């Protein structure tokens, strides 16, 4: 009786092993997931570009879904427990940044994006150049008038 039980167990193990090998089913390599929600005025932002940087070395990009959610996956060797993750998101002229420490298999970092418009330096530069030019002209003219006497 014991021989029959052992034989059936071994036969089952061989079938299970050969099925796993034939289908290519293997254990997934360990990974670190960084997930979160991107919002603007407490509303989810769909289609935002998200970039996650782990330890300043490995960068992974993603795009938010309709609910503003994102997921980036790092190999665990590139982003182990205790690593610093910096997540930045942008859409249009709006952006935001958040950072945190990897606390396990999944780390959650939510962030809000805000309008960060930079003033046009073209107009400012033109006004400054005009003012400097006018000042130089006045200085040179005054100097010229003083040397004639």
pLDDT of residue 105: 87
Domains identified in the chain and CATH numbers? 31-115 (2.60.40.1120)
pLDDT of residue 85: 95
- Written as one string, the DSSP assignment of 16-67 is HHHHHHHHT--PPPPEEEEEEEEEETTEE-TT-EEEEEETTTEEEEEE--TT
Please list the pLDDT of the chain residue by residue as tens digits (149 residues).
555 555 454 455 444 454 444 455 556 678 999 999 999 999 999 999 999 999 998 899 999 999 999 999 999 999 999 999 999 999 998 999 999 999 888 889 999 998 865 555 555 566 666 667 666 676 777 766 666 65
pLDDT of residue 19: 46
Give the residue from 104, 114, 102, 118 showing the smallest Cα distance to 40: 114
pLDDT of residue 104: 85
- CA-angle at 32, arms to 29 and 37, nearest 5°: 135
pLDDT of residue 74: 94
pLDDT of residue 147: 65
Q: Is the pTM of this model over 0.75?
A: no
């Amino acid at each position: 009786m014991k021989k029959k039980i052992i034989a059936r167990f071994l036969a089952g193990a061989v079938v299970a092993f050969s099925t796993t090998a034939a289908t290519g089913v293997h254990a997934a390599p360990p990974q670190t997931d960084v997930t979160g929600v991107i919002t603007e005025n407490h509303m989810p932002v769909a289609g935002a570009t998200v970039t996650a940087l782990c330890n300043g070395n490995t960068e992974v990009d993603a795009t938010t879904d309709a609910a503003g959610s994102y997921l980036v996956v790092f190999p665990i060797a590139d982003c182990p427990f205790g690593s610093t993750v910096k997540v930045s998101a942008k859409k249009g002229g709006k952006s935001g940044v958040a950072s945190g420490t990897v606390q396990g298999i999944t780390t959650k970092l939510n962030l809000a994006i805000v309008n960060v418009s930079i003033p046009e330096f073209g107009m400012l530069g033109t006004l400054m150049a005009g003012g400097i030019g006018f000042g130089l002209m006045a200085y040179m003219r005054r100097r010229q008038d003083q040397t004639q006497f």
